[in-house]
Structure 1
Amino acid sequence: MGSWKNHVRGQLQHRDQREKVPYAGVFTSLSQLEERFEIRKQILEDVQTKSLERGGVEAGKNTSLLQLQLRESEHLAEKLSQTVSDLTTVLYLKEAELQYWQSRVSRHHQEALTLAKGSKTLKATLSEYEFTIECQCKELAALHVEQKELKEAAAQAWKEKEELLQRWMEEKREEADRLNKYNDTQERWQRLAKQLKKHLHKEMAQGYDPIETSSLSGATKTSPVF
């Protein structure tokens, strides 16, 4: 907030250095010239009085010289008076400008106060947002940990599933092997039974022999298991 005040103060000082300081000695010079004018005027009156009393040529010369000096003084006085008038006008303008700048400074000061209040409100809001972000970051970290644990549990479950599937496939393969062996055994028994039936029908076609039939029946009952 102090930067703009320093800037305005520096601008006013620069303006004084540029516009007021060069004319600082004018009023002093004017006073001195007015004093000289009064002195010369008094001297001129005295000389004129003496010249009237004496009536000499020398007094006339002195009177002419003093009148010339008086005219010069009057010219300088008029010039200085005009300068003073101009400076007074400039001074009024500068005072009006100073009032304008002071009003602007007051307005900027009010704006600065408003901005300071807004900045304070924004800082409070920012603090709330930072607190919310911090809480959300903590929640996110907790969710990451939970996600990691879930991934590990899912990986373990998948591993157990694969192992279970592998065991189930092994059991099914063993069961299929047993079923294949059983089917092979059944097929061998069926082939053997067909052969026996065929042989029996052949024997019966050639003639019935109870002994052979009995021996054949015994051989069938005592057949080994393959």
Structure 2
Amino acid sequence: MGSWKNHVRARIQQRDHKEKLPFVGVFTTLSQLEERFEIRKHILDDVQCKSFERGGGGVEVGRNTRLLQLQLRESEHLADKLSQTVSDLTAVLYLKEAELQYWQSRVSQYRQEALTLAKGSNNMKATLSEFEFTIESQAKQLAVLGLEQKGLKEALAQAHRDKEQLLQRWIEEKREEADRLNRYNDTQERWQHLAKQLKRHLQRERGKECGPTTASSSTRGKETTPSVFQRVHNKMDLYKGHSDYSRASAATKV
């Protein structure tokens, strides 16, 4: 987009350099010469009119007088023009001085603003450095907290696993204890059933022996009955002690 514009601009500058710039000085000089010609023509016309009004004096004196008047008028006109140019240049100079003062005030204002902005920039750089240091410290703390959180998660997972294992073991131990209690209850029921049967059997035996018997036979019966009951009670006490020991050991493990 900008390449063809640059190309056209370069070609126009090249054309001006070839066609316009060589004739700039010529046109200026021509305009100056035309202006001087008009001035001299006007002055010459005035001098000729005055000479005709005075009459036909000496030709040579009149010619010299006309030349001198012409030069004088030309000099006066040039002086007026130069004075006008000087006044114009003075006015322009005053304007330039006022503009220069204005721009100097603007420069001082901009310099003050630049100093203020530089101070603000330095303060912002210092604040930015503090923020960067704070961010770096917080990043390090965040990394440490992340590691701690990871360790805590691992510990929590391990605690959950240990809890599950302990709960499973406790359930298994309770199941075993329940099985032991069930077996103990079954055994107690069997022993009670056996004791009832033995009791009935003894009662029947006693009913048969209530008739006339000898003292020796009654003595043997009395000795036999307590011995049978003693053996049954000894076995029941032994099994009860064994079951109590098993229950105590299970409670100790839990």
Specify the TM-score bucket, using the shorter chain as the normaliser: 0.5 to 0.7
Select 1:161's aligned residue among 156, 160, 165. 156
- Within 5 Å, which residues of 2 pair with 1:84-99? 92-93=87-88, 95-99=90-94
> Cα distance, 1:145 vs. partner?
0.8
> Cα distance, 1:204 vs. partner?
2.6
> Cα distance, 1:99 vs. partner?
2.2
Q: Distance in 1 between the 2:150 and 2:36 partners?
A: 101
Structure 1, unmatched stretches of 5+, are 1-16, 52-62
Q: Distance in 2 between the 1:116 and 1:203 partners?
A: 125
Select 2:168's aligned residue among 158, 173, 193. 173
> Which moved further from structure 2: 103-112 or 156-165?
156-165
Select 1:217's aligned residue among 220, 233, 245. 233
Structure 2 residue 156 is the aligned partner of structure 1 residue 148: no
Q: Distance in 2 between the 1:181 and 1:219 partners?
A: 24
Structure whose alpha-carbon radius of gyration is higher: 2
- Within 5 Å, which residues of 2 pair with 1:41-60? 48-49=56-57
Structure 2, unmatched stretches of 5+, are 1-23, 206-224, 247-254
Q: Distance in 2 between the 1:50 and 1:171 partners?
A: 152
- Within 5 Å, which residues of 2 pair with 1:95-110? 95-110=90-105
Structure 2 residue 190 is the aligned partner of structure 1 residue 182: no
Amino acid paired to 1:148: A
Provide the aligned C-alpha RMSD in A. Answer: 4.7
Percent of aligned pairs with the same residue? 6
Q: Distance in 1 between the 2:137 and 2:32 partners?
A: 77
Q: How many residues align?
A: 185
Q: Aligned pair in 2 of structure 1 residues 24, 131: CA closer, same or farther (>3 Å)? A: farther
Q: Aligned pair in 2 of structure 1 residues 24, 88: CA closer, same or farther (>3 Å)? A: farther
Give TM-score, length-normalised by structure 1: 0.59
Give TM-score, length-normalised by structure 2: 0.53
